[in-house]
Amino acid sequence: MSNLPASRTRPTRRTWLAMGAALALPLPALAATFSEITWLELVPPGWDPAKTLQAQQPDLAGLSDTDPRAEKALEELRRIWDNAPTVPSLAGRMVKLPGYLVPLEEGKYGIREFLLVPYFGACIHTPPPPSNQIVLGRAAKPFKGLRTMDAVWASGRLQIERADSSMGVASYAMQVERVVKYQAS
């Protein structure tokens, strides 16, 4: 047995009330832990892939699609986009980001892994956007009720992680805690 007085070994009424109040937080108060970000915040200031490509191949205007120089330029642009720079200060942040859903791993229990992209049709049509405009989402628990290209809000911890998929290269990954249909906030 402890030598502490009984008031020290059992929670007091005040402790129980405080614990109850903490558990009764409304959902909007819990959601406030995610800071809303935009897709532009995922791109480092000053990054301009067109300027890089133009510097390497200045005579692109007027080339036909079948010109070998145009094909080389498209390959170079794809390389630049697949290796797009990230914003290191976003690593580890709890964020909420709107986007369109591209399921990667879907089963009878729902979607567990997906790409989040900034515009409708991205990654389904080619070419996919730059890698710093694709977020690989991994949900701890699968979610249902959403389909390919549904507009959603994804909330979770953002990390810098390059990931290849059949739909495109992502420069960011998110450990997703919540995915809901998009509604303007």
Is 24 a residue whose pLDDT tops 50? no
Average pLDDT over residues 163-177: 96
Residue 161 class from Cβ within 10 Å (0-12 exposed, 13-18 middle, 19+ buried)?
Answer: middle
Look at residue 139 and give its three-state secondary structure. strand
Position 4, amino acid: L
The pLDDT value given to residue 14? 53
pLDDT one-digit tens code per residue, 38-47: 999 999 999 9
Of 25-39, 61-75, 157-171, give the lowest mean pLDDT range. 25-39
The pLDDT value given to residue 74? 83
The pLDDT value given to residue 10? 52
Percent of the chain with pLDDT over 70: 79
Residue 33 class from Cβ within 10 Å (0-12 exposed, 13-18 middle, 19+ buried)?
Answer: exposed
- Residue 52 Cα distances to 5, 47, 73, 158, angstroms: 72, 9, 11, 28
Q: What is the pTM of this model?
A: 0.77
* The two structure tokens encoding residue 152: 């959603």
pLDDT one-digit tens code per residue, 79-135: 999 999 999 999 999 999 999 999 998 888 999 999 999 999 888 877 899 999 999
